[in-house]
Structure 1
């Protein structure tokens, strides 16, 4: 597979993965606006709909728009779009992370969502918000490499729901039943761990490639030091 073809497949794959939180969010919005209940625990959500709606809005924009930041050709051709998208992605990502933390701490969660799963959710949400803040601080210092790295980590954490859906499908196919409380928590944690591992591999792979180029090489960050968006 050529580098160009691989570069095209990455954002496409991320869009497929983002379909899980986007479709789940759409179903929840339909329920909250008077539609038929599709997702379990609807009563819990109806008790505090505002953070849920904000979370869905943040996740939807962040996951879909963020996928295009991983298309290097698109970034090079449209650097202004890349910067404008980044200015939207940071607040949307923070909205998704902070509302997720709020719901974990203050919502009336089902019994199976407490304990270890709560710890994983708090860790992932805090790490996502922290990565976004560090990425923003880096680009304000014109440190594009660190900005890119932190934004990749933030996006990896934000896409946890997609990977979780894949792992739960594999679990169901292998066992024929739903995961029990501990297994469910571990599958959630494993999904975030897998995403972060892939993110770190991508960061180090690009860092090594750029480090191996002579000064003035062609693989420089699009938009230069003025980039203010999530760059991959």
Structure 2
């Protein structure tokens, strides 16, 4: 098995596995809304205005699960048409996921464990998600594949933040107990920063061979 074949299998599988908690959480929320669950203080805002949370749950799930296969290099080479078609759908899902998340952040009533700091963090990263996708789309329109790939990886890192947050927040609760406003905000911020750090490392690693080749050609 070549390294490309291993990457085609292992990388998408790892991303999908990492996405399962938020995807299942979104599915449970949709089931709750569709099944007429009891309205409580924790879910009343979703029943009062269900469209944003439905859009967010569906588009982010598609974004994470379908986006995982964009990290399979062999698949991209063998099926360039599929890569482009999936990419267009991912741009749409990413933008809808980000914008619906921003809408909920601004207009939904805040739970007791969500303060001004977490609200600000969500607004910053939600906006960055939109900007990164837009920059990635603009780059491929001008045929700058390197910049397109870099911005899309950064955007995907933000979109996958819920997976990291589920692991980090769940581990904290298991070790130290319930979260307050400050600890929840700090841990969610840390989760997004970790994802972006990993994305930046991947971007730089992918750019390194290309840079070396260009330098060799100049010699």
TM-score, length of structure 1 as denominator length: 0.87
Question: Does the 8 Å contact 1:167/1:191 carry over to 2?
Answer: yes
CA distance in 1, matches of 2:41, 2:25: 11
Q: Aligned pair 1:200/2:200, yes or no?
A: yes
Change (3 A) 1:163 1:39: farther
1:8 CA displacement:
2.8
Tell me which stretches of 4 or more aligned residues in structure 1 moved more than 6 Å.
none
The match for 1:138 is 139
Match of 2:90 in 1: 89
Greater length-normalized contact order (CA 8 Å, ≥ 6 residues apart): 1
2:129 counterpart of 1:128: yes
- Tell me the residue number matched to 1:99: 100
Q: Does residue 180 of structure 2 align to residue 180 of structure 1?
A: yes
| Structure 2: segments with no counterpart, 5+ residues | none
Which residues of structure 1 form unaligned runs of 5+? 218-232
Contact 2:105 2:119 in 1 (8 A): yes
More helix by share: 2
The CA distance in 2 between the partners of 1:8 and 1:210, in whole Å, is 24
User: C-alpha separation between the residues in 1 aligned to 2:209 and 2:175?
Assistant: 39
After superposition, give the CA deviation of every residue in 1:35-77 in whole Å (9 maximum; x if it has no partner).
5469982111101101111111110111110000001011111
Counterpart contact for 2:136–2:150, Cα < 8 Å: yes
Question: Residue 213 of structure 2: SS of its match in structure 1?
Answer: coil
Contact 2:132 2:151 in 1 (8 A): yes
Q: CA RMSD in A?
A: 2.2
Q: For the residues of structure 2 that align with 1:151 and 1:167, how far apart are their CA atoms?
A: 24
1:213 and 2:178 aligned: no
1:120-176 Cα offsets, whole Å, 9 max, x none, are 10011000000001111111111111000000000000000000011012212322x
Cα 1:38–1:196 change in 2 (3 A) is: farther
Give the whole-Å Cα distance in 2 for the aligned partners of 1:90 and 1:20.
22
How many residues in Structure 1 have an aligned counterpart in Structure 2? 216
* Match of residue 108 from structure 1: 109
Residues 102 and 2 of structure 1: CA distance in aligned 2, closer, same or farther (over 3 Å)? same
Q: Is the contact made by 1:163 and 1:191 (CA closer than 8 Å) also made in structure 2?
A: yes
Distance 1:216 1:76 in 2: 24
- The Cα of 1:215 is off from its aligned counterpart by 8.9
1:40–1:68 distance in 2 versus 1, CA, 3 Å: farther
User: Does the Cα contact within 8 Å between 1:27 and 1:39 map onto a contact in 2?
Assistant: no
The CA distance in 1 between the partners of 2:51 and 2:216, in whole Å, is: 50
